[in-house]
Structure 1
Amino acid sequence: MRKLLLMLGIVSTLIFITACSEEGKEATEAKSDKKSELVVYTNQISGDREEVAKSLVEEQNFDFEVVFVQAGGGEMKDRLIAEKNNPLADVVLGGSPLEHLALAENNILAPFTPIWAEDIDSSLVGPENNYWPWAIDTVHYTYNKDLVGGNNQPPVPQDWPDLTKPEYKDQYYIFEPSGTTGAVLFASMLVRYLDDNGEHGVSEEGWKLVKDIYANAVNPTPQDWQEALKEDVTGGFIWGGGVISVARDKNIELDIMEPSVGTPFLPALVGKIHTGNEEKMENAEEFINWWGSADVQATWGEKTGQAPANKEALEKIGGEIQALLDRLEAQELDWNYIYEHMDAWREKMALEYAQ
């Protein structure tokens, strides 16, 4: 009996060891089969754009999983700087020179030349090739043509001071300058009133304009500002691609205000994060090479209304996107000057004017 029990014990032990071994083998195989992640910080895929971006990624079927983390331009920049010593992102997709100049200054971006480098405007490339333009956006005040210019309606706005008049009280929304669109639009106002003796380099007249723009805006900004453009407000801040896509998706007839000094043109930029992880940085290069390519940007532009920086992609699209760019005069903007002053401008607006 003792021998039988001993033999049964040995057999049970062997079965248990074998089972554990198989489970361990399966766990190891499952772990090895799991794709590594490429984390992309972006301010470009909110709303309907998210589905477009994820669809493009699924079609490409990378050997790694692409994880998009959406944030406003300023928040994205601040997060990357805070994580400098322990990077959590591998790519920064979107953001203007305001954000990328800060990232370059903090040595967060790694130099890299994408395969589509010859197809874009080289004047928009960052110092030491650490960021590259993949789209050219314009930013605007836009308005619903059915809600302005008629009887008992506000007049069609021609320039920013028009929005400070009583007829425009609670008639439009704004974006705060913590995000890229808001920052660039407020900067485009302030640079028209530069004064070495003024507060943060801006004259009293310039700050009064911004204060009055804030005061007349609807408070709070509608959560679904695209839907609000149908009837709740007459207009608001928007980017060029949004003018086209929102008008199409919401069936609204939109138009844009064209100040006499021109419209801000700004590149949407992409950069590779200096993570120190060789595999992740190679994956980041693969993603950037793919994202900025003519075929991908032609598809992205057609579906989102955003103009590609890639000249070949822009030629493929043509239509409304090309017509919008051809229609507008670019406002002269000194990005380095704006970058040097933007933090102080943002702080003043947040403390004194924010709703």
Structure 2
Amino acid sequence: MKKAVGRLFTGLLGLMLIAGCTSGNTSSTNSATTTNSAKPEGSLVVYTNSGGDGRDVWLKEQAANAGFDISIVSLGGGDLANRAIAEKNNQVADVVFGLNPMEYERMKREDLLQQYEPAWSSGVDKTLGDPEGYYYPVVTQPLFMIYNKDQYSSQTAPKDWTDLATNPEFKDKYTILGLGGGTSKAILVSIISRYLDDTGEYGVSAEGWEMVKNFIQNGHVQGEGEDFFGNVASGERPIAEIWGSGFLQFTNETGADNVDYVVPEIGVPYTVEQTAIFKNSKNIELAKKFVDWFGSAEFQAKWSNQFGSIPVNKDAASQVKPEIKAMLERVHPQKIDWKNASEKIEMWMEKIQLEYVK
């Protein structure tokens, strides 16, 4: 099982992170204890795309126990970045966590983020974050296609996202998560990255755009408040997108044993969720203390055990549950040029929204 954790971090975007016990555990744990004993004063506004399904309530309670008074705003990753950028001249939030590096790069280009090295930085592979120290990695997420095992076997289920676009048998059978969210964007990048062409529109070949068009128009885009996982389990719409910790959480909470996930031969896209401080925070020092606490090995292990996340912190990663290790036995990451994607994602999404969404 330890090898499974090791393979995740070795393969993740071609970078290495060794899961095991190091001296980082002491410094991370001590930083959390120091933060608690300091009894920080004041309040913070925290932006995240990882606040759904009870995460925001649980985090607020845990933060209060550690002495932090926080308000949490939860939106999809792309929508959240758009909001932060729109608020540039009247910054509301102090801290952000979740989101993938594409969204952080957008905020960084807008000069929204504060450079800061958290107390736990030695416990993570910094190459998974920003080399200039504007954002740091906390959680890694494999992104999956899930399907109802009562309706499909492993042989008849789609083998890849492109099957949904090309096989009429799957038309209207799958849910695409909200296009403003990070999961949906990353899965679209998974498809688009196979068709990069410098001579094509926005760097994508005509064949690639046709594939994306069919993927969008053959599926169903999630509506507000729609239970996409429940629809898969019931068979109402038996295929959907999901993030790794969501699969573990929803199967545990619902007891659904008829839902499985697909691992394409090309691999699955991984996103690395980050955390950062907003440059114009009204309480920078308190924001730093919160980030020190939130990213510590102690808290990230709790977060993982509660919600099935895969922590980047080496000491927290060594404590993940058996079901997470079992998941890591099955998956391998798709090779994706995330830097290129971060530079073009807004153009790609604008074209998709304007031309392909009905």
TM class, shorter-length: 0.7 to 0.9
Alignment-derived partner of residue 312 in structure 1 = 315
Alignment-derived partner of residue 40 in structure 1 = 46
Alignment-derived partner of residue 275 in structure 1 = 280
Using a 3 Å threshold, how does the CA distance of structure 1 residues 321 and 85 change in structure 2: closer, same or farther? same
Larger RCO: 1 or 2 (CA < 8 Å, sep 6+) = 2
Q: Contact (CA 8 Å) 1:241, 1:307: kept in 2 or not?
A: yes
Alignment-derived partner of residue 201 in structure 2 = 199
Alignment-derived partner of residue 270 in structure 2 = 265
Q: Distance in 2 between matches of 1:352 and 1:252?
A: 37
Alignment-derived partner of residue 175 in structure 2 = 173
Alignment-derived partner of residue 233 in structure 2 = 230
**CA-to-aligned-CA distance 1:143-199 (integer Å, 9 cap, x gap):** 12223129xxx9211112221312212211002432110110001100001112212
Greater radius of gyration (CA): 1
Alignment-derived partner of residue 344 in structure 1 = 347
**CA-to-aligned-CA distance 1:211-252 (integer Å, 9 cap, x gap):** 111122136647121222221111211101111111111222
Alignment-derived partner of residue 51 in structure 1 = 57
**CA-to-aligned-CA distance 1:291-334 (integer Å, 9 cap, x gap):** 11112111111111111111111111241113323421111111
Alignment-derived partner of residue 105 in structure 1 = 109
Matched, 1:75 2:76: no
Q: TM-score, normalised by structure 1?
A: 0.84
In structure 2, stretches of 5+ residues that fail to align are 1-40
Alignment-derived partner of residue 214 in structure 1 = 216
Q: Distance in 2 between matches of 1:207 and 1:304?
A: 36
- Relative to structure 2, which stretch is displaced further, 220-229 or 254-263? 220-229
Counterpart among 244, 257, 261 of residue 256 in structure 1: 261
Deviation at 1:276, TM superposition (A): 5.7
Q: Contact (CA 8 Å) 1:139, 1:238: kept in 2 or not?
A: yes
Matched, 1:333 2:344: no
Counterpart among 293, 299, 304 of residue 302 in structure 2: 299
Q: Contact (CA 8 Å) 1:172, 1:218: kept in 2 or not?
A: yes
Q: TM-score, normalised by structure 2?
A: 0.83
Q: Contact (CA 8 Å) 1:37, 1:66: kept in 2 or not?
A: yes
**CA-to-aligned-CA distance 1:250-307 (integer Å, 9 cap, x gap):** 2223222212221111111000111164xx1111111111111112111111111111
Q: Distance in 2 between matches of 1:75 and 1:297?
A: 25
